[in-house]
Amino acid sequence: MSHSLRLELADGELLVLQLSRRCRIYARSGAHWLTVDGQDICLQGGEYALLPASKLLLEGHGQLEMHPFTDTPLRSWLSIASHYQTV
C-alpha cells in the first residue's frame, strides 16, 4: 500500500517537517519555497523534487503532495516539527 500526504499552505504559513526517509514532493498547485540540507528549492504547480531524509522547511501557497520512497506507515517517515503563522 502506498502512503502519501497532501498539504495545503496559505500565505504566511511556515511548516517545518522532519523526514526520516527520502521522499518525492509534488506541487499540485501554487508556488512553494523549500529549504532542505541548506539548499533552497522553488516549486510551481506541476513540478516536483526528490528530497533526502532531513529537516524540511516549507512556505508558499497552494497544495503539495508527499510520497515516501518506500511503503512504510506515514508515522514512520514524517513528523511535524513546528508550524508558524507569520502574518
Closest to 26 (Cα-Cα) out of 81, 79, 72, 68: 68
pLDDT at 72: 54
Chain segment 31-76, per-residue pLDDT in tens: 999 999 899 999 999 999 999 999 999 999 999 999 887 755 555 6
The string of DSSP letters for 54-83 reads SEEEEEEEEEEEEEESS---GGGTEEEEEE
CB 45 within 8 A of CB 28: yes
CA–CA distance, 19 with 86 (Å, rounded to integer): 23
Q: Is the pTM here over 0.85, yes or no?
A: no
